[in-house]
Structure 1
Amino acid sequence: MIHWPELDGPPELLKGHSLEEWPPARSVFHALQASAAVHGERTALTFLTSVGGDDSVTAVTYAELFENVGRSANLLRNLGVGRRDVVAYLLPAVPETHYLLWGAESAGVAMPINPLLQAEEIAALLNAANAKVLVAFGPTAGVDIWAKARTARTLAPSVHTLMRLGGGEAPYADVDFATALAAASPVVEFSAPDLDDAAAYFHTGGTTGAPKLAIHTHRNQLAAAYGGSVAIGANVMDVMLNGLPMFHVAATIFGSLSMFVAGGQVLIPSPLGFRDPSVIANFWRIAARHRVTLLGGVPTSFAAALSQEVGTADLSTLRASVCGAALTPPAVADAVERVTRRPLREVYGMTECGGVICVDPVWADRVRGSAGLPVPFCEVQARRMVAGRPGEIRCAPGEVGGLVVRGPQVTPGYLQEEHNQSLFTDDGWLVTGDLGHVEPNGRVFITGRSKDLIIRGGHNIDPAVIENCLRTHPAVSDAAAVGMPDAYAGEIPVAYATLKPGKSATAEELQDFAAANVVERPASPRWVRVVDSLPLTAVGKPYKPALRADAAQGALAESLSDLPIASVEVRDDTVGGLIAVVKVETEIHGRKLDGAAMRSAVTERLAAFTVRLEFSDS
């Protein structure tokens, strides 16, 4: 039951296998153990502690990785962590984060947390998961992780241990990770978890004050990791550049575990990854010097890298670039392929599916605009929408509908039962919230989203965070936030606000208020517009397709402002996504213009936006 029809793949190792026989490990612990047994002296992790003319490198072999995962698991068991107990962490991307993450999954349940969240939001997640242990990066100049961890601990009674990992001295820490790790045995004598045991809880749904934790079982993570590994053709010669943050499912599963199960190498460019300006400035040199074969990233990281000269960097070892977390603008994909002379492969996934649903597989020709094919034993359908949700009727090939998925990487649900009511269809398929269509050969295409999530450079933002923040302003009556197309970040948050009778506030005042009070920086709206009223649905809720279209129209009109354009109109048809209809001028001051040339200029200018373009002659 492998869904790669009409292609030369998948590799022979999967042919004839059944779901029950695959993947070939019972837990993440067993998978790492198997890799250590086969690839013990090979490098599993390469960490660049600093980036510059002469990178400072720390290398970790598979034997060392597995030994330290075992020590970490024993360390946690010695602290009283049992199979269902939660170990949360606020950590940068360093090798020790891997020891802690996979060790926590072996001893109990890991919970990666975004260090950019405020202490109150961190505490809400700790309380929602009833976390026992919190591991945080120690005091460091210019970094407030430790201070937030200390505050969050006081707000989360279930946390009985605060552990320092890295950073400076922390007098309020109960345990020092490095000291405790060195003292722990590498031999795990307790029973390792099984396929359907919980491995991790991942925060999803954007930055929101209402905790929403997706459960990952070991089956989920292994299916996603092995599936991604097979689709990208991962092997022992691979070096994957992974600069994504270690609270993100893409960094941990596809960007790391997929390499580990194949015996490949993960290259971590710095503790801050792609958020480190020196990494972006040296992006191509890093790829060349460390003989990278797979460039992993999100559209914004690739766009930032493209602003740097390749120079004499030798990229001959590169075999593919892999991009996920958001749709890649065509202009970015084209530029990456021009620079690397290798295809850019899309990865479509979501936290609720281990981060991997589809991959544009390496053994097939790259199809521009396609999210790829479902990984092994995963199925994707497009279904006709009924009352805003995918119904029971499957769409015809090429017909746009609500995308649903089922397979071994699909979560059993959220930790909080109230969030599960709309997660699955009546017949058990997970509702992705995305719109798209499936071609006869199984290829999946994403055309839009039925949910309101704003994705800024791969970072999920719940619009409710911005809306609730603005509603606390004494002059604001109501607010609605939407994503506005952006050539760099894919989309950025903007907001519309109405005022209470007799109250006054300027747009600039409200924008400053949101910037100062929203829970984290990426959720700060680019602008706030004060309006007399919000467009409403029949039940009185803000009608966001109209607001998205309005915001997009302004962004596109600004981008085209120096071209002879008669008009730009944008509509959100809720199925096909945003559609921009452009009318170009054919005559200015009695001088005829080349209409074809104008259309070409508009197409080139808007190529960086994930908006469908049409031209109007009327």
Structure 2
Amino acid sequence: MTGASLWPRYAEPADLAAIEAVPLAERNLPESTYTLLGRAAARWPDRPATTVLPAAARWREPVRRTFAELLADVHRYANLLRELGIRRGDAVALMAPNCADLVPATLAAQLAGISVPLNGALSRDHLAELLRLSGARVLITAGPELAPEIWDTAKGFAPQLDALLVLRPTGAAGEPAVLPAIDSVRVGYLADLAADHDASDFDGEPPAASDLAALFHTGGTTGAPKLAAHTHANEVADAWMIAANSLLDVGSVIFAALPLFHVNALVVTMLAPLFKGQHAVWAGPLGYREPALYGQFWKIVAEHRIAAMSAVPTVYSVLAQCPVDADISSLRHAMVGASPLPAAVREGFQARTGVTLVEGYGLTEATCASARSFPDDPRPGTVGQRLPYQRMKVVHPDTGDELPRGETGVLAISGPTVFPGYVVGRDGDGYVLDGLGKLRGGWLDTGDLARLDADGFVSLAGRVKDLIIRGGHNIDPAMIEDTLLDHPEVTAAGAVGRPDEHSGEVPVAYVTLTPGATATEADLLAWAAGRVPERAAAPKAVTVLDALPVTDVGKPYKLALRADAARRAIAEALAPFDGVTVDGVIEDGTVVAIVTLASEVDETKVTSTLSRYTVPLRLTYEGHP
């Protein structure tokens, strides 16, 4: 496969047809993520592959690996895993914040077996369920120096494990902390245990394209956790689609700061750079969540000549407020996704930096990325054009019939990046996978409301499950959010349904404002009432927050808003009663209103009032659990 065939021109929307004129099978993509790494190490052995910062305050003390060094460490770690009994169908769980050794550890897990990256901030019950589903007997985890809370959690899972392999902080010096001895569990530092293993080759059979590479959890903060399976072919194909971007050439430097338990970090900033020998500069263990990073950010861009970065809108909102105190002329590709991009953030970032934000769209069940935008051909209101070889259609939410271009329905995707299913069990042949209603005839139901234009550009219109149903009438929350985002002082907006005794639920909104904003909640309510496209969608209340709730990877967390809306609605209904307190909590992905009564409150009257609401309720009493 020639370089010209592997890398077609891909700089503008019109290039898509020419790219797809060559079948993907003829592009001779690497067989696996291991083959992809080996290809990079063979072509650019001495070029830097990863540079990892210990922390924002120590950004001038990074740990660097060349491509050859990265491959050598992957071999060592994979051969250690093989010694511990890991074979092709076995899971290796990884639970740690980003650090220098987590990158090779992740690739080694995919080489020896199947990687299962875990978010250590999830509840213990969720983590226990994910470990049970995966069947992992080896856990690579943060040690007491790197993340004490994660280490404490990891030790609690020791009885169900064969080995705990421990990671130290990036650039750690001196003697490490002494690790406890745990009966029947091999406990030790990963780098030390792997030091004497073969660095030149892998002792086992390398993975094939159809083999599972990873199991990524999804739904961990919004409902029962699920493990979505990715094959090596899924990950390699999606990484190639991202790397094919003609705006980033061989040797470009990519900034990485999202956690490696998220698909964006794995595919966009770890695998895609391997295709063109690009250098990935990784932030410290807190990534974009480290406040000190923002004060040093432009200096880091200048020092490493960062060409591209990927983040969520909240990150760019903060960066738009940071004075540019260094030469950032190298930065030309700033990608944004995971949640809607407010116009104020787009304009503020571009005014500050001169760099156009490039929107994208993707989901774990389609590996990672499925659409991208083009800085020289902006399409406001869209999240980009479908990526090569991925197919998209919009279907009716009830019938499943395909809708004409321009009409809004449920977005469906097919192609080489669509996952094979969720893990629902194991049998003698390995994991049992099931689409659980997401896969229908090879098409993935994304659950996103969207419309497509003639060029394959996607405009999102919210989540099907986020629809506000007012008296049987479906209201798209994006309609309200877009109206509020048009206000010059609004930087983010989220609309949800609030329980209502007459209509079931009514729309309410939450917003954040620019620093020094003067708009009041009453002003914003009047703004929305006068501009929202349909009368029924006019919000009944607008609440200003310091920040909208998000997940650990920056996606909007609307369940938290719905819980607050439920709390406010029930509290308002029970205001006539003294001695009543209300809380809104999330249990298994459902909002529940917890009503606590003092002993003198008439329970019958309270129950009668609450019967007018459909939100799940639970009564408790002062002094009782």
Q: Which residue does the alignment assign to 1:189?
A: 203
Instruction: Render the CA deviation track for 1:330-365: whole Å, top value 9, x for unaligned.
Output: 211122222221221112000111111111146x51
Instruction: Render the CA deviation track for 1:233-282: whole Å, top value 9, x for unaligned.
Output: 43223111111111111111112211122211111121211111111221
Matched, 1:102 2:107: yes
SS at match of 2:122: coil
Instruction: Render the CA deviation track for 1:512-545: whole Å, top value 9, x for unaligned.
Output: xxxxxxxxxxxxxxxxxxx785965xxxxxxxxx
1:400 maps to amino acid: T
The partner residue of 1:170 within 176, 179, 195 is 179
Q: Which residue does the alignment assign to 1:42?
A: 47
Contact 2:165 2:187 in 1 (8 A): yes
The partner residue of 1:210 within 224, 231, 248 is 224
2:423 maps to amino acid: L
Q: Which residue does the alignment assign to 1:461?
A: none
Q: Which residue does the alignment assign to 1:402?
A: 410
Contact 2:370 2:386 in 1 (8 A): yes
Q: Which residue does the alignment assign to 1:138?
A: 143
Contact 1:225 1:254 in 2 (8 A): yes
Cα deviation for residue 293 of structure 1 reads 0.5
1:40 maps to amino acid: P
Q: Which stretch of the first structure deviates more once superposed, 334-343 or 30-39?
A: 334-343
Distance 1:551 1:287, change over 3 A: same
The partner residue of 2:382 within 370, 382, 385 is 370
SS at match of 2:157: helix
Cα deviation for residue 8 of structure 1 reads 4.2
SS at match of 1:293: strand
Contact 1:294 1:320 in 2 (8 A): yes
Q: Which residue does the alignment assign to 2:394?
A: 382
Contact 1:447 1:577 in 2 (8 A): no
Instruction: Render the CA deviation track for 1:84-135: whole Å, top value 9, x for unaligned.
Output: 1000011111121111111100110000000111222211110111111111
The partner residue of 2:129 within 101, 124, 127 is 124
Q: Which segments of 5 or more consecutive residues in structure 1 lack a partner in the other structure? A: 455-481, 497-530, 537-545, 583-609, 611-618
Contact 2:493 2:512 in 1 (8 A): no
The partner residue of 1:249 within 250, 258, 263 is 263
What is the rounded CA distance, in whole Å, between the counterparts of 2:350 and 2:527 in structure 1?
33
Distance 1:355 1:534, change over 3 A: farther
The partner residue of 2:296 within 282, 293, 296 is 282
SS at match of 2:115: strand
2:371 maps to amino acid: C
What is the rounded CA distance, in whole Å, between the counterparts of 1:371 and 1:50 in structure 2?
32
Q: Which residue does the alignment assign to 2:438?
A: 423
Contact 2:141 2:167 in 1 (8 A): yes
Q: Which residue does the alignment assign to 1:355?
A: 368
What is the rounded CA distance, in whole Å, between the counterparts of 1:572 and 1:450 in structure 2?
20
Q: Which residue does the alignment assign to 2:508?
A: 550
Distance 1:245 1:553, change over 3 A: closer
What is the rounded CA distance, in whole Å, between the counterparts of 1:553 and 1:379 in structure 2?
35
Distance 1:23 1:356, change over 3 A: farther
Q: Which residue does the alignment assign to 1:499?
A: none
**1:68-87 equivalence runs, <5 A:** 68-87=73-92
Contact 2:29 2:237 in 1 (8 A): no
Instruction: Render the CA deviation track for 1:488-509: whole Å, top value 9, x for unaligned.
Output: 995679897xxxxxxxxxxxxx
The partner residue of 1:271 within 285, 289, 292 is 285
Cα deviation for residue 210 of structure 1 reads 2.5
Distance 1:567 1:442, change over 3 A: closer
What is the rounded CA distance, in whole Å, between the counterparts of 1:564 and 1:393 in structure 2?
38
What is the rounded CA distance, in whole Å, between the counterparts of 2:329 and 2:388 in structure 1?
30
Q: Which stretch of the first structure deviates more once superposed, 27-36 or 232-241?
A: 232-241
Contact 2:452 2:459 in 1 (8 A): yes
Tell me the matched-pair count.
501
1:118 maps to amino acid: S
The partner residue of 1:51 within 47, 50, 56 is 56
Instruction: Render the CA deviation track for 1:463-512: whole Å, top value 9, x for unaligned.
Output: xxxxxxxxxxxxxxxxxxx999698995679897xxxxxxxxxxxxxxxx
Distance 1:145 1:23, change over 3 A: farther
Identity among equivalent positions (%) equals 31
Contact 2:233 2:416 in 1 (8 A): yes
Q: Which residue does the alignment assign to 1:21?
A: 26
2:305 maps to amino acid: R
Instruction: Render the CA deviation track for 1:174-217: whole Å, top value 9, x for unaligned.
Output: 23201122111121132211111000000002425633010000
Q: RMSD of the TM alignment (CA)?
A: 3.7
Q: Which segments of 5 or more consecutive residues in structure 2 lack a partner in the other structure? A: 1-7, 170-176, 425-431, 469-476, 541-555, 557-625
SS at match of 1:201: strand
2:51 maps to amino acid: T
